Amino acid sequence: SVVPLAEILSDAFDKRYGVPAINVFNDLTLEAVLAAAVERSSPVIVQTSVKTVKSIGSDVLYAMWTSMTAGIEVPVTLHLDHCPDRAVISECLERGWNSVLFDASRLPVQENMRQTIEVVAEARRFGAHVEGEIESITGVEDGIGSDEKAQQQELEVTLDFLRNTKVDVFAPAIGNAHGSYKTEPVLDFDRVSEIVEAYPLPIALHGGSGLSDEQFHNLIARGCAKVNISTALKEKYMKSNLVFLESAASKQKWDPPSLFTSVRQDVIDLAGSFMTLFGSAGRA
Residues recognised as catalytic: 81
Residue 79 marked as a ligand binder: no
Distance CA 11, CA 43 (A): 10
Residue 179 marked as a ligand binder: yes
Q: Which residues lie across from 189 on neighbouring strands?
A: none
Residue 103 touching ligand 13P (CB under 6 A): no
Tell me the three state secondary structure of residue 22.
strand
Minimum distance, C-beta of residue 23 to ligand 13P, in the bound complex (Å): 6
Q: Which DSSP string do the residues of 59-72 spell out, in sequence order?
A: HHHHHHHHHHHTT-
Residue 81 touching ligand 13P (CB under 6 A): yes
Distances from the Cα of 65 to the Cα of 58, 76, 81, 129, angstroms: 10, 10, 16, 18
Site residue total, ligand 13P (CB under 6 A): 15
Residue 226 touching ligand 13P (CB under 6 A): no
Distances from the Cα of 147 to the Cα of 141, 177, 280, angstroms: 10, 9, 31
Residue 206 touching Zn ion (CB under 5 A): yes
Binding mask 126-165 for ligand 13P (x = CB under 6 A): ---------------x------------------------
Residue closer to ligand 13P by CB (options 158, 230) is: 230
Distance CA 189, CA 30 (A): 31
Residue 122 touching ligand 13P (CB under 6 A): no
Backbone angles phi, psi at 99, to 5 degrees: -165, 165
- Chain centroid to CA 260: how far? 24
- Number of helical H runs and strand E runs in the chain: 12, 8
By C-alpha distance, which of 33, 9, 10, 17 is closest to 269?
Answer: 33
Minimum distance, C-beta of residue 74 to Zn ion, in the bound complex (Å): 23
Residue 40 touching ligand 13P (CB under 6 A): no
Q: Which residues lie across from 226 on neighbouring strands?
A: 19, 204
Residue closer to ligand 13P by CB (options 75, 207) is: 207
Segment 241 to 280, residues that bind ligand 13P, using CB under 6 A: none
Tell me the three state secondary structure of residue 45.
strand
Q: Which DSSP string do the residues of 75-132 spell out, in sequence order?
A: -EEEEEEEE--HHHHHHHHHHT-SEEEEE-TTS-HHHHHHHHHHHHHHHHTTT-EEEE
Residue 178 touching ligand 13P (CB under 6 A): yes
Residue 178 marked as a ligand binder: yes
Residue 228 marked as a ligand binder: yes
The region of 17-25, 60-68, 204-212, 261-269 touching Zn ion under the rule CB under 5 A is 204-212
**Residue ranges in contact with Na ion by CB under 5 A:** 207, 209-210
The region of 64-72, 189-197, 226-234, 272-280 touching ligand 13P under the rule CB under 6 A is 226-234
For binding to Zn ion (CB under 5 A), which residues are involved?
206
Binding residues for dihydroxyacetone phosphate: 179, 207-209, 228-231
Cite the annotated binding site for Zn(2+) by residue number. 82, 103, 133, 178, 206
Give residues in contact with ligand 13P (CB under 6 A): 23, 81-82, 141, 178-179, 206-209, 228-232
Residue ranges of the annotated binding site are 82, 103, 133, 178-179, 206-209, 228-231
